[in-house]
Amino acid sequence: MNQSLFVIILNFLVDSLTFGAVFMYGSTGEIITEKGGHLNLGIPGIMCMGGAGGCIALAVLAPVVPPAVLVIAGILTAFLMASVMGVIYSFLTVTLRANQNVTGLALTTFGVGLMKVLMSNKNLMKAEVYLVKPKDYFRWPFSLLQRPLQDAGLSAVQGLGIMFFMAVAIAIVASIVLYRTKIGLNLRAVGENPATADAAGINVTRYRYLSTIIGSGIAGLGGFYYIIDYMVSQEAYLSIEALGWLSIALVIFVLWRPHMTIPGSFLFGVLFSCSPFLAALGMNITMAAKPVFKMLPYVVTVLVLIISSVRNKRENQPPASLGLNYFREER
């Protein structure tokens, strides 16, 4: 009994960790974007488009290419499709100076809708082709230990696939680039005070475009990872949007520090999926109580916001020109 309780808890924690990687992608991408001064509320739509793009690439390519190549192609396509959304966002806000909030929300609506159209195409999207075939390759290396893990009852460990480790790596690299390199310094300057950055000879337009495009691409991987690796289900795409909003909340929760998304996303994963876990432990959780549990990540985000606002430490505030478009003032 004790043994199995330990196994249940361990499974739950590992599962939360792998689930959290969805947020890790989404928030890391959004942090890179926000550090450049863009408040991209299109993240949910972008994650949807990343998911749709990757899955379509898998469905089309699965019959013709070897599975290992399929993994790379899927990841690249997801990144590209999401980046295209980033290009649209940057073009609208930087070049055409559209309002960032409106642009972002429009992209979310657009991305979610387009993904639903694409993913509901039953002729193209056959689960056994795009989900089942590459599954073991995405879940390398633990997929090699499938049998022993299942025997030990630790099937959740299989979820620690290459895309999970990629998420961790990207979050760490993003922090290093942002806080330890010249590029990061320049990008933060653009997000804090674009006029000063401009006067110092930094190309504000280029930095804003690139940070938004790369950030979007990374966020898009989150959607793809969720469908193809975490859920491995045909209906998974329907719940990406909610995860996108949670990713934006996580950005605030970790106070714009990419590496902190690793523990942060784990916590969000735990909070978000704790109701089935508690049920498995024998607690009586009614249907009505479930949404209350799903609310927890937002509640802790609000708490963090309140605490950081009260402490009012400059380092913990959002980038100073977040949400503001920049254009050189002519007289």
Partner 1 sequence: METERIPSLEMRGITKRFGEVVANRNVNLKVYPGEVLAILGENGCGKTTLMNMASGIYFPDEGQVFVNGREAVIRSPKDAYDLKIGMIHQHFKLVDLFTAAENIDLGIRGSNLKDVNARVREIADKYGFVIDPEKKIYEMSVSEKQTVEIIKVLYRGADILILDEPTAVLTLQEIRKLFSVLRSMVQDGKSVIIITHKLNEVLEVSDRVAIMRKGEHIATVDTCDTNESQLTEMMVGKKVALNIERSEPLDPSPRLEVRHLNARDKEGLPVLKDVSFTVNGGEILGIAGIAGSGQKELLEAIAGLQPLDSGEIIFHNPKKDKPVTYFHKSQRRVRELAKQGAFHYTDGRPVDVKTMTRRQVTAGEVLFNEDEIMNLRDKTPLQIRQLGVRLSFVPEDRLGMGLVGNMGITDNMMLRSYRKGHAGMLNRKKPAELAKQIIQELEVVTPGISTPVRRLSGGNVQKVLVGREISSAPKVLMAAYPVRGLDINSSYTIYNLLNRQKKSGTAVIYVGEDLDVLMELCDRILVMNSGAVTGIADGRTVEKEELGYLMTKTHHAGGEEAEQE
Which residues would be at the binding site for partner 1 (CB under 8 A)? 182, 185-186, 188-189, 192-193, 195-197, 199-202, 314-315, 320, 331
Nearer to partner 1 (CB atom), residue 121 or residue 203? 203
What is the spatial distance between Cα 6 and Cα 3, in angstroms, rounded to a whole number? 5
Instruction: Report in angstroms the alpha-carbon separations of 228 from 18, 167, 201, 212, 235.
Output: 12, 14, 43, 24, 11
CB of 331 to partner 1, least distance (A): 5
CB of 176 to partner 1, least distance (A): 14
Nearer to partner 1 (CB atom), residue 290 or residue 313? 313
Q: What does the block give as tokens for 95?
A: 């070049």
CB of 35 to partner 1, least distance (A): 11
What is the spatial distance between Cα 178 and Cα 169, in angstroms, rounded to a whole number? 14
CB of 305 to partner 1, least distance (A): 19
- Give me the long-range contacts of 192-198 (CB less than 8 A, separation at least 24): 192/37, 192/319, 192/320, 192/321, 193/320, 193/321, 194/37, 194/321, 194/326, 195/326, 195/328, 195/329, 198/326, 198/328
Q: What does the block give as tokens for 210?
A: 């690139």
CB of 188 to partner 1, least distance (A): 8
Amino acid identity of 90?
S
Nearer to partner 1 (CB atom), residue 182 or residue 311? 182
Nearer to partner 1 (CB atom), residue 122 or residue 314? 314
Nearer to partner 1 (CB atom), residue 36 or residue 50? 36
